[in-house]
């Protein structure tokens, strides 16, 4: 924000209508002026001095302007200003139906028509990404004010930090400005999390609208992005705590990835991981006691085995700081599976998988990990396909899943299975390539270390004997030394090239692995769906499924909710339907609890008049 710029900018946005009152409202081409005329009151006679036209000078008149341009012209500078240290507010007001929601939030169903807030959130996270030398901490809050009553629209979200339990009070900050004590602040790590909170808050308003007084009006909303920035060196206690929380959420599956913010943050992430591992090891040791020394041994040997294969292997040319390496096949976990196990054994395998989870590679251990009940594609063993489709012999006792899976792969799932096999083949080929490259890199690194050592020895010897200098006084390289220097240079180039290839091949391997996983999931999902439809779902549900994709209304809601509680709904055909019923169920529950918990005074109105999103920097 330049110092000359006015701290307040005013824009008018005109909502497109079929019959625009051109005779009364005029927007000149400069896009900064608005002329408004009113019809003279004919009852006042000929000498009528009534003012009948006004001209307004504004920062912009947004007539027939897209959402994107509106954001660029109105909001972008405010968002970027926040990163330069300026608090900013984008305030929107107008009469009912004027387009406040459309402008601020946008049409939720179309990405193109999203409003200022989602775009601002996107920009905020893009900026955060660009400023890798800083550590950012972003929190969101969403407040609604109705009839002088404040409501925390995000109070339903757990894990928010709030200075007070439920009671909201406006307080004056010591340094100026006001804030709402008790309003929950929610840490967000990425755009998606932030959008979830926005939509959650919006939904909470909408619930109020339907459940409560339809005739009341005038509610105001304040959506705030609190940005904290720390500059490249020592993490504060709060930041360390934040990283710890992130790591825990990541490990428990609540967070998909930990965004990289700075080197210091990465180091702290590793430190936190190490802490978790050490704690787990300690716990395990305590749990296992002396009778499972083999597990302990395995736990202790694994890191050193990795280190053995990696230290002094792939890594930086000059430094000995880090290394990468592929585990030798002999070091990998081996599963012994006979090509065609007996049916009894297969059943046993399945029941073990479904019931008790896989066993660690140690004997007599009592350690059990929690495992999902899904069958894994690799656990399904080969079996002669049956000619008859399983749904044609729907019986009371469904066939073993492993058998049915083989049938499925040979028939209905043959296409996905084929793609899966293809992807696996590519993956295997790339993995081999990666292994070869790793060997090349490791061999080159060994040569590099050797030549570096030789050169150092040579120079030390030369140092002790005295330096040869040219007539100009420059140090002179001997032939043997020159040869070593050239070799070193070539090896470094070879190493760099191989390392580049290694990195790109590694990316390809990850990508292929992703494809394989995706195909495997698709195959298993399709199989589960088919198996459930063929053998498990009640006829009542099947008759609905036969009419095509399930849509809301096909199955009575209460029936669907019963199915869901039985765990069957997840097996239904259409994912969208599951989402619908889940959302419906959640909304019902939340509405029910709201009706119980909220007093009539806290009832909010149906139509909002003013929305006040704020971007503020602390
Ligand atoms: N610039 C625009 N372009 C296209 N459609 C618009 C525009 N502005 C508003 N609308 C449409 O007009 C209707 C009313 O807009 P909106 O709900 O945003 O009004 P509002 O000011 O938030 O109303 P209220 O105060 O009653 O909540 C919506 O259907 C919206 O999609």
Q: Which domain holds residue 393?
A: 347-356+374-465+476-536
The annotation status of 97 as a binding-site residue, yes or no, is yes
CB atoms within 10 A of CB 611: 24
Which atom of ligand 1 has the smallest separation from the CA of 98?
Answer: 21
d(CA 534, CA 398): 9
Which atom of ligand 1 has the smallest separation from the CA of 13?
Answer: 1
Choose the residue to mutate in 66, 99, 108, 110 for probing ligand 1, maximizing ligand atoms within 8 Å of C-beta: 99
Q: Please indicate, yes or no, if residue 108 is contained in any of the structural domains.
A: no
Q: Whose CA is nearest to atom 26 of ligand 1?
A: 96
Average pLDDT over residues 14-25: 86
Choose the residue to mutate in 12, 97, 215 for probing ligand 1, maximizing ligand atoms within 8 Å of C-beta: 97
Total number of domains in the chain? 1
> Is residue 603 very low, low, confident or very high in pLDDT (cuts 50, 70, 90)?
very low
Specify the DSSP class assigned to residue 601.
Answer: G
pLDDT at 148: 79
> Is residue 531 very low, low, confident or very high in pLDDT (cuts 50, 70, 90)?
confident
The answer to whether 205 and 153 have CB atoms below 8 angstroms apart is: yes
Which atom of ligand 1 has the smallest separation from the CA of 104?
Answer: 18
Q: Average pLDDT, whole number, for the chain?
A: 71
Per-residue pLDDT reduced to its tens digit, 406-442:
989 999 889 889 888 988 998 899 899 999 999 999 9
Per-residue pLDDT reduced to its tens digit, 581-591:
444 444 445 54
For the chain, give the number of residues.
Answer: 618
DSSP 269-307: HHHHHHHHHHHHHHHHHHHHGGGGHHHHHHHHHHHHHHH
Residue of 556 and 76 predicted with greater confidence: 76
CA of 610 to the centre of ligand 1 (A): 13
Both structure tokens of 552: 């809301």
pLDDT at residue 199 above 60?
yes
pLDDT at 271: 92
Both structure tokens of 247: 């790591």
pLDDT at residue 606 above 60?
no
The annotation status of 101 as a binding-site residue, yes or no, is yes
Specify the DSSP class assigned to residue 360.
Answer: P
CA of 38 to the centre of ligand 1 (A): 25
Both structure tokens of 549: 């994709």
CA of 67 to the centre of ligand 1 (A): 12
Average pLDDT over residues 549-555: 48
Choose the residue to mutate in 73, 94, 101 for probing ligand 1, maximizing ligand atoms within 8 Å of C-beta: 101
**Angle (CA) 112 117 118, round 5°:** 45
Per-residue pLDDT reduced to its tens digit, 129-187:
888 778 889 999 999 998 778 999 998 887 656 555 668 999 998 877 888 999 999 99
CA of 192 to the centre of ligand 1 (A): 24
pLDDT at residue 537 above 50?
yes
pLDDT at residue 60 above 60?
yes
Which atom of ligand 1 has the smallest separation from the CA of 14?
Answer: 1
Residue of 595 and 196 predicted with greater confidence: 196
> Is residue 396 very low, low, confident or very high in pLDDT (cuts 50, 70, 90)?
low
The segment with the largest mean pLDDT, out of 4-18, 367-381, 556-570, is 4-18
Q: Please indicate, yes or no, if residue 565 is contained in any of the structural domains.
A: no
Residue of 238 and 175 predicted with greater confidence: 238
pLDDT at 223: 95
Q: Please indicate, yes or no, if residue 585 is contained in any of the structural domains.
A: no
Residue 225: name the closest of 124, 303, 326, 323 by CA.
124
> Is residue 206 very low, low, confident or very high in pLDDT (cuts 50, 70, 90)?
low
The annotation status of 100 as a binding-site residue, yes or no, is yes
Q: Whose CA is nearest to atom 8 of ligand 1?
A: 99
The annotation status of 98 as a binding-site residue, yes or no, is yes
The annotation status of 507 as a binding-site residue, yes or no, is no
The annotation status of 245 as a binding-site residue, yes or no, is no
pLDDT at residue 330 above 50?
no
Q: Whose CA is nearest to atom 10 of ligand 1?
A: 99
Q: Please indicate, yes or no, if residue 581 is contained in any of the structural domains.
A: no
Average pLDDT over residues 298-302: 38
Q: Please indicate, yes or no, if residue 502 is contained in any of the structural domains.
A: yes
Residue 50: name the closest of 37, 65, 67 by CA.
37
> Is residue 46 very low, low, confident or very high in pLDDT (cuts 50, 70, 90)?
low
DSSP 12-28: EEEPP-SS--TTTEE--
Percent over 70 (pLDDT), the chain: 62
The answer to whether 272 and 142 have CB atoms below 8 angstroms apart is: no
> Is residue 511 very low, low, confident or very high in pLDDT (cuts 50, 70, 90)?
confident
Q: Please indicate, yes or no, if residue 441 is contained in any of the structural domains.
A: yes
Environment class of 128 (CB within 10 Å of its CB; exposed 0-12, middle 13-18, buried 19+):
buried
Alpha helices in 30-71 (DSSP H): 67-70
Q: Please indicate, yes or no, if residue 382 is contained in any of the structural domains.
A: yes
Q: Please indicate, yes or no, if residue 427 is contained in any of the structural domains.
A: yes
Name all residues whose Cβ lies below 6 A of ligand 1.
15-16, 94, 96-102, 107, 607-609
């Amino acid at each position: 924000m330049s110092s000359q710029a006015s701290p307040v900018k005013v824009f008018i946005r005109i909502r497109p209508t079929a019959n625009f009152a051109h005779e009364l409202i005029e927007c000149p081409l400069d896009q900064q002026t608005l002329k408004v005329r009113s019809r003279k009151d004919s009852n006042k006679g000929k000498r009528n001095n009534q003012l009948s036209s006004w001209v307004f000078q504004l920062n912009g008149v947004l007539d027939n302007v897209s959402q994107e341009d509106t954001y660029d012209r109105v909001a972008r500078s405010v968002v970027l200003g926040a990163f330069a240290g300026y608090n900013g507010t984008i305030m929107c007001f107008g009469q009912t139906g004027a387009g406040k929601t459309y402008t601020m939030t946008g049409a939720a169903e179309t990405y193109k028509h999203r409003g200022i807030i989602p775009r601002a959130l996107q920009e905020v996270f893009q900026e955060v990404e660009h400023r890798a030398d800083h550590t950012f901490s972003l929190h969101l809050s969403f407040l609604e004010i109705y009839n002088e009553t404040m409501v925390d629209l995000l109070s339903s979200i757990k894990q928010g930090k709030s200075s007070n339990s439920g009671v909201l009070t406006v307080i004056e900050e010591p340094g100026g400005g006001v804030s709402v004590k008790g309003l929950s602040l929610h840490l967000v790590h990425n755009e998606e999390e932030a959008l979830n909170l926005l939509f959650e808050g919006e939904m909470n308003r909408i619930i109020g609208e339907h459940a409560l007084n339809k005739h009341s009006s005038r509610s105001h909303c304040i959506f705030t992005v609190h940005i904290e920035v720390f500059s490249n060196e020592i993490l504060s206690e709060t930041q360390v705590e934040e990283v710890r929380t992130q790591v825990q959420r990541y490990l428990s599956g609540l967070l998909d990835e930990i965004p990289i913010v700075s080197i210091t943050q990465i180091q702290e992430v590793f430190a936190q991981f190490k802490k978790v591992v050490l704690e787990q090891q300690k716990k395990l040791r305590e749990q296992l006691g002396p009778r499972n020394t083999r597990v302990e041994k395995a736990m202790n040997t694994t890191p050193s085995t990795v280190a053995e294969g990696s230290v002094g292997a792939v890594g930086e040319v000059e430094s000995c700081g880090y290394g990468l390496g592929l585990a030798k096949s002999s070091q990998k976990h081996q599963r012994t599976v006979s090509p065609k196990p007996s049916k009894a054994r297969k059943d046993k395998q399945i029941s073990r998988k479904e019931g008790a989870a896989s066993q660690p590679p140690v004997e007599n251990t009592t350690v059990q990990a929690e495992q999902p009940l899904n069958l894994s594609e690799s656990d399904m063993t080969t079996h002669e396909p049956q000619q008859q489709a399983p749904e044609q012999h729907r019986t009371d006792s469904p066939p073993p899943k492993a058998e049915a899976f083989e049938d499925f792969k040979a028939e209905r799932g043959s296409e996905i299975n084929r793609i899966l096999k293809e992807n696996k083949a590519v993956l295997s080929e790339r993995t081999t390539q990666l292994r070869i490259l790793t060997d090349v890199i490791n061999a080159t690194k060994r040569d590099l270390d050797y030549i570096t050592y030789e050169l150092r020895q040579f120079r030390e010897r030369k140092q002790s004997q005295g330096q040869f200098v040219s007539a100009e006084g420059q140090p002179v390289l001997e032939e043997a030394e020159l040869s070593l220097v050239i070799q070193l240079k070539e090896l470094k180039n070879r190493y760099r090239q191989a390392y580049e290839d290694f990195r790109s091949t590694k990316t390809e391997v990850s990508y292929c692995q992703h494809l394989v996983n995706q195909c495997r999931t698709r195959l298993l999902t399709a199989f589960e769906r088919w198996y459930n439809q063929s053998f498990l779902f009640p006829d009542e549900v099947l008759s609905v499924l036969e009419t095509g994709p399930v849509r809301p209304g096909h199955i009575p809601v209460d029936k669907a909710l019963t199915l869901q509680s039985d765990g069957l709904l997840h097996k239904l055909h259409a994912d969208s339907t599951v989402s619908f019923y889940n959302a419906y169920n959640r909304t019902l529950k939340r509405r029910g609890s709201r009706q119980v918990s909220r007093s009539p005074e806290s009832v909010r109105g149906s139509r909002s008049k003013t929305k006040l999103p704020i971007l503020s920097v602390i």
